[in-house]
Amino acid sequence: MKSLNKVTLIGNLGKDPDVQRLQGDWIVAKLTLATTETYRDSQGNKHSKTEWHNVVLWRVLAELAEKYLRKGMAIYLEGKLQYRTYDDANGQKKYVTEIIGESFIMLDKASKKDE
């Protein structure tokens, strides 16, 4: 049986991408993406719920994110879910859910970091 691990989101960046250069010319960008759902309850009151998503971009996508993405910008993102665990400094197991970005489209006007 085939399987599919696919995530599609449209949201706003919570901060500028955090870009790191690693050994072997690898580059990684981490960012947070907010998606907001708005609904009305049975009394007609409007409510909003925001979910925050941790996104990781590698190589060329990370370079593009560093150059063009800024806090507050709207983007369309496609990627896949990844779960991982690690032990913190106190030996406690931590669980992380991330979206590994495979492509994105800027929905706002782009501006280079240098401009």
Interval 55-108: pLDDT, tens: 999 999 999 999 999 999 999 999 999 999 999 999 999 999 999 999 999 998
Residue 98 lies in a domain: yes
For residue 69, give the CATH number of its domain: 2.40.50.140
Residue 2 lies in a domain: no
Cα-based angle 7, 53, 25 (whole degrees, multiple of 5) = 85
Contact (Cβ atoms closer than 8 angstroms) between residue 76 and residue 66: no
Residue 17 lies in a domain: yes
Work out how many domains the chain is built from and give that number: 1
Is residue 5 scored above 90 in pLDDT? yes
Q: Residue 94: give the domain boundaries.
A: 7-106
d(CA 17, CA 37): 23
d(CA 103, CA 21): 20
> If 0-12 CB within 10 Å is exposed, 13-18 middle and 19+ buried, where does residue 85 land?
exposed
Whether the predicted model's global pTM rises above the 0.95 cut: no
Q: Tokens 């665990």 — which residue?
A: 85
Residue 1 lies in a domain: no
Residue 115 lies in a domain: no
Return the pLDDT at 113. 57
